[in-house]
Amino acid sequence: MNWLQLLSHKRPGETTNISHDQTRSRFEQDFDRIIFSHPFRKLQDKTQVFPLPEDDFVHTRLTHSLEVSVVGRSLAKNAGTFLLEKYSELKSEGYSIHDFGGIVGAACLAHDLGNPPFGHSGEDSISSFFLTNEKGLFFKNKVTNSEWRDLTTFEGNAQGLRILNGKGNGGLKLTYATLGAFTKYPLSSSCEKEKGRKSQKKFGYYQCNADLFEEMAIEMGLVKLAENKWCRHPLAFLVEAADDICYHIIDLEDGCRLGLVSFETVKNLLAEIIGENYSEEKVQKIPSQNERLGTLRAMAIGQLIQECSEAFIQNEEAMLDGSFDQDLTSLIPSASAMKKIINLSIDKIYRSKLVLEKEAGGYEVIDNLIETFATAVYSNYFDSPLPKHKSVLRLLPEEYEVQLDVVESAYEALQIVIDFISGLTDSHAVRLYKTIKGYRLPV
């Protein structure tokens, strides 16, 4: 792979080369398009870890995505400084560190767009409907094997790529470079995964986006490993690192603010990352615990940005030939401290009663919603609809009805249902569930 190809600012479907504009680059346009998009705004009411937060300091998907974008931009500018010195042709073509920051910042901003309501329990509920629910299993012989694999393994990353390239989202049409950095898992759901390759832990695109992804991969010169399977775009490692840094550190901070983890425990863990720059005396001079937490969090994130930037630089050539495939945070000096944080978070935060109650409720809500709408859509477009099904369909927003009117297969119809369900906010999902169940009726 080479960086001139990897930094392609062409958009899907474009056939002519467009000159690189340094005043407002296409990568900055990508960032702006995401910020103003409807799917991005809905992240303000989607669970990060803690359900439907009432306290302003608990993170939602929106605040998490903004913070990941800030960290990713810093990582990318550090990497860009190195790359511009190493590859003189990048400067000759007008690229700057701001282009690297724009690509990774935009990809980070979009990294959670495909996540459904209620976090991971929402993902599991969609997959489980098709795997275990009798009404979901009904669809197995209505789709191909590869399409069934998509339906039974709902994946937020693949759903995100579908959203970014869907007709119903204002035609975001991001650049190839941003889409490449966004795609942490450059393979389809039907591919056999190779052990030891972090980029194959999950999958990154559905069958409906297979042609698009191949077009992306060819344009950027990604190394092809097998049919429907490529090596990562190198900047995807920075997007992953930014996400890892934020959810490790900030979930811990939220857990402390909610009383699930003691301040002393958090302080000691963050001090281990901060290293020689940590000063107990200075920490004690900070007047409130919340301010102490904020200061320690900022220092820890700053240190992790520096360490991950160095890890990227050390492995950049191996990324280009496709031989490097690990998460950067596992290679840095603070890796052991990060491991302690994630183990503590699993025990004290992710398994807390508050989070488990949210997950249990999420399963119930999402399972009922997808059963109701999938059954109604199939009956209306491929069978004989009952009056009940027609009533349910009227609850769909107009843009989904327009898309359903031209579908030609059950797979397409079910993907549109999944688009709708996964795109709901937590609050909207709960309200819709209550309406369908008859618990919430207009007076």
The residue extents of the domains of the chain are 3-16+25-235, 237-351, 354-437
pLDDT of residue 55: 54
- Interacting residues of 261 by C-beta distance below 8 A, sequence separation 6+: 252, 255, 344, 348, 349
State how far the Cα of 267 lies from the Cα of 284, in Å rounded to an integer.
Answer: 11
Domain 3-16+25-235 and domain 237-351 have a common topology: no
pLDDT at 236: 97
Nearest to 41 by CA among 101, 141, 134, 109: 109
pTM score: 0.92
Question: Rounded distance, CA 36 to CA 28, Å?
Answer: 13
Beta bridge partners of 224: 230
- Give the per-residue pLDDT at 284: 87
pLDDT number for residue 438: 79
| pLDDT for 110 | 95
Query: Which numeric CATH code is attached to 3-16+25-235?
Result: 1.10.3210.10
* Alpha carbons 238 and 232: distance in angstroms, whole number: 11
Q: What is the CATH number of domain 237-351?
A: 1.10.3410.10
What are the residue ranges in the chain where pLDDT is below 50? 443
